[in-house]
Structure 1
Amino acid sequence: MGSRLGEGSGPGGEGGAERRAATGDEWVITPVGAGLLRGALEVERTALGVLPHRLPARARAQFPDQYLRMVEAQPSGVRLVFRTRATAVELDVLPTKIVYEGTSSTPQRLYDLLVDGRLAGQATATGGHVHTIDMPTRSVAIRPGAPGTVRFGGLPGGEKSVEIWLPHTEMTELIALRTDAPVEPAPDPGRRVWLHHGSSISHGANAESPTSIWPALAASRGGVELVNLGLGGNALLDPFTARAIRDTPADLISVKLGINLVNHDLMRLRGFSPAVHGFLDTIREGHPTTPLLVISPILCPIHEDTPGPTAPDLDAADLRFVALGDPADRATGRLTLNVIRDELARITALRAADDPNLHYLDGRSLYGEPDFAELPLPDQVHPDTAGHRRIGEHFAESVFGDGGPFAHR
């Protein structure tokens, strides 16, 4: 599939050509395209290479929000998968790194490399664009940068399956894949495809690496192929997201709804209920009998009985969030997490009378009061890596385990 090149050939990041000349390695360059990628709904050809997308072009044309444009192109759950005997792998990339206004450093996001399903290495990419986000306004300031190279060496010899999971919160333009042995696409593993939609928690906020986000952990334990439509700040019952789910092949579907609607103070109960019905109706147009799980929010004390909007706590030393709503406004239909849980339970019970493959899960069974006491939310909204692990374990046990809605029948 690739062409064999001598030392120093092909594009490279900082020190790439010098490193290849010093080692005397010969490299195989393999085009990066949809055949090597899993977890992306669409792959866009760019001037340098390809950019994975988690929403299709039709959906991207229907929202004006710059933040969502950034979020859907952050490749949470997207990975390169191939078979090879290579012991060294290089990936040239143009990352887009995210910085929040007021923080002092640019985070270095991890690439996870798995060999035959086991974590075998982690690396970061130098260079790249930097987007600085002002949280109160969601405005974005852009500083352009140059490509970099991610390198993994010392891989075991012999034929093996290699996965490179891309940083879940860093847009990643893929330029070139180099290996010291030929590469071929990995065969279809024959596993069920699980498509999951949710908020920034499902996207992987605060998890330290792409395979430590809770959907990736749950997928690994459940033995399924993940398509992650967790969209930070944008699980908002958007019709274009429902259509993307409708049109994407999947054996199992879950939608985790609620927290972003409160965060944005986007709608009242009167609008929420028919919007949920419409969202589920659209999914069912393409997946009439697919097991479909509706998940309510995990525990979030600041919003259990207090409406949004949510805002950064400007008095806190680190990024933390506070709820700005008035609990008394629940009487006028403003949404809180408890209001949303009650309504999602009611809606799914009503629909399940005619839809036996529709299921409901209270998000507090994934992360509830005992979990919060042991593993509090560092910023009051998002779990850390240990919290993601806890959610993934609980999901795998209750959903993929015996008797669960996604258990093998």
Structure 2
Amino acid sequence: MSVDDRSGWTTTPITPQLVWGALELERTERGWLPHRLPAWARRQVPDGQLAMAEAQPSGVRLVVRTRATALELDVLPTKVAYRGVPRRPDGVHDLVVDGRLAARAVAGGGHVMTVDMASGETTTEPGPVATLRFSGLEAGEKDLELWLSHREITELVELRTDAPVAPVPDRGRPVWVHHGSSISHGSDAAGPSETWPAVAAQQAGVELVNLGFGGSALLDPFVARTIRDTPADLVSVKIGVNLVNLDLMRLRAFAPAVHGFLDTIRDGHPDVPLLVVSPILCPVHEDTPGPAAPDVSADGVRFVATGDPSDRTRLTLRRIRAELARIVEQRAEEDPAITYLDGRELYGEADADRLPLPDALHPDAATHRLIGERFAAGWLPSLR
């Protein structure tokens, strides 16, 4: 069928019932913008990094039940570029059919936001709406999940299909709310359905709400309150690496901040399993504090740790793991549903020899899948 042949097609309004994994849809001039923080929390966001990260829809997917064999979604993406660094390829959007990845598409056009990593300043060049097209789908009723790019802010403009669509009824799956850093956000995963939390959720048969925010897992109280207010059957929080690579706080402040974060979560989820996950292995920050600094070359970016390793008041990954293990052990005396997971069980020294972190901070696509499979096998089976 030609692109111009739309006889018999259906245009379906985009509603919250069709958009899973987002906490709010913001009305825009063109359509709807998914957010992973509610409006009240966004008003407390202190910087552009988190404002950008929460609007990048990691874990957000358009979910419908239909007999359609073709689907089109008009979107307005905002792509991110970094000054002085080669432009990354456009982000992909994954179409999952009845639980299996069936196709990928790229949204051309859109806005381009250019970030100066040294100053943090941004400039945005406007661009046009793009269309994601999927065709040749199998006939018959099926569940379609269109996972939006985890690397691009994506406004949803219009959904068209060659057969009517309906919301997917509650599948009775447990809801897993996860919070973490850029690694949980997706960093260099192959696609939005292949970030490690997405891999784990799909393999374990749970519904994911991904509150992984690139560069922004910083024990912010408004994030803890957001988790508190979000329905969940399991909550996991991955704490540490951003506190080190931003050199945000000293050791004295860390434990009370963690306790306060967990206390707030427990205010809304007093009995659900609560998993505290320490950082995966990251050799540059194991014993050297931050801040991390980008080393830009023609081959891309690598990060180096610039802190003083002799300063015992500053946070390193090794100190953070020891503190988190102590905190969870202490809290477990009165909270039997809290558990600690050493992140090196997900990615450790043997893994680093085989799958080193390409930029010294972020795992590659194969490592995302490895972490997701390990998490699904070891930590999510009880929710199935």
Which 5+ residue runs of structure 1 have no aligned equivalent? 1-6, 8-18
Query: Which of 271, 276, 287 is 1:289 aligned to?
Result: 271
Aligned partners of 2:151 and 2:6: how far apart in 1?
35
* Other-structure match for 1:141: 123
SS at match of 1:20: coil
Task: Rate the CA distance shift 1:315–1:116 in 2: closer, same or farther, 3 A.
Answer: closer
Per the TM alignment, residue 101 of structure 1 is displaced from its structure 2 partner at its CA by 1.3
Residues 5-404 of structure 1 aligned to structure 2 (within 5 Å): 19-21=2-4, 23=5, 25-105=7-87, 107-314=89-296, 317-329=299-311, 331=312, 333-401=313-381
Cα pair 1:54 1:229 within 8 Å, conserved: yes
Native 8 Å contact 2:96 2:144 kept in 1 = yes
Distance in 2 of aligned mates of 1:183 and 1:207: 29
CA shift for structure 1 position 139: 1.9
**CA distance 1:229–1:214, change in 2 (3 Å):** same
Gaps of 5+ in 2: none
User: CA–CA distance in 2 between the matches of 1:85 and 1:33?
Assistant: 19
In 2: Cα distance, 1:407 partner to 1:251 partner: 8
How far 1:138 sits from its partner (Å)?
2.2
Q: Encode CA deviations 1:188-215: one digit per residue, 9 max, x unaligned.
A: 1100000000000000001120011000
Q: Indicate the residue corresponding to 1:13 in structure 2.
A: none
Partner of 1:16: none
Aligned counterparts of 1:123 and 1:314: Cα–Cα separation in 2: 30
Deviation of 1:100 after TM superposition, in Å, equals: 1.4
1:206, 1:88 → 2: CA distance?
Answer: 29
CA contact (8 A) 1:195 1:252 kept: yes
Instruction: Measure the CA separation in 2 of the matches of 1:139 and 1:285.
Output: 37
C-alpha RMSD over aligned residues = 1.3
Q: Partner letter of residue 338 of structure 2?
A: L
SS of the equivalent of 2:118 reads coil
CA deviation after TM superposition for structure 1 residue 137, in Å: 2.3
Over 3 Å counting, the alpha-carbon distance change for 1:164 and 1:315 in structure 2 is closer
Higher relative contact order (CA 8 A, sep 6+): 2
The 2-side partners of 1:212 and 1:326 are apart by 36
Query: SS of the counterpart of 1:298?
Result: coil
| Contact 1:366–1:394 under 8 Å retained in 2 | yes
What displacement does 1:313 show? Answer: 1.1
In 2, the alpha carbon distance for the partners of 1:68 and 1:175 equals 24
Cα distance, 1:394 vs. partner?
1.2
Asked if structure 1 preserves the Cα contact closer than 8 Å seen for 2:78 and 2:154, the reply is: yes
Q: Distance in 2 between matches of 1:222 and 1:158?
A: 26
Are the equivalent residues in 2 in contact too, given 1:93–1:148 (CA < 8 A)? yes
Report the CA distance between 1:90 and its aligned residue: 0.2
- 8 A contact 1:127–1:146 mirrored in 2: yes
Question: How many angstroms does 1:396 deviate by?
Answer: 1.2
Q: Structure 2 CA distance, aligned partners of 1:313 and 1:103?
A: 10
Q: CA deviation at 1:88?
A: 0.4
State the distance in 2 between where 1:41 and 1:225 align.
Answer: 13
Look up the SS of the partner of 1:313 in the other structure: strand
The alignment covers a number of residue pairs equal to 384
Shift of 1:107: 2.2
Question: Aligned partners of 1:50, 1:315: CA distance in 2, in Å?
Answer: 38
Post-superposition CA distance 1:349-403 (Å, at most 9, x none): 00000000000000000000011011100000000000101111111121124xx
Question: Contact 2:85 / 2:296 at 8 angstroms: preserved in 1?
Answer: no
Q: CA deviation at 1:326?
A: 1.3
Is the 2:184–2:195 Cα contact (8 Å) retained in structure 1?
yes
Distance 2:383 2:141 in 1: 32
Which residue does 1:15 correspond to in 2? none
Q: Is contact 1:207–1:388 with CA below 8 Å preserved after alignment?
A: yes
- Separation in 1, partners of 2:86, 2:358: 19
Alpha-carbon distance in 1 for matches of 2:119, 2:149: 25
Could you tell me the TM-score, scaled by structure 2's length? 0.98
**Whole-Å separation in 1 of the counterparts to 2:45 and 2:160:** 36
SS at match of 2:114: strand
Q: State whether residues 85 and 298 of structure 2, in contact with CA within 8 Å, keep that contact through their aligned partners in structure 1.
A: no
TM-score normalised by length of structure 1? 0.92
Note if contact 1:98-1:107 (Cα within 8 Å) is conserved in structure 2. no
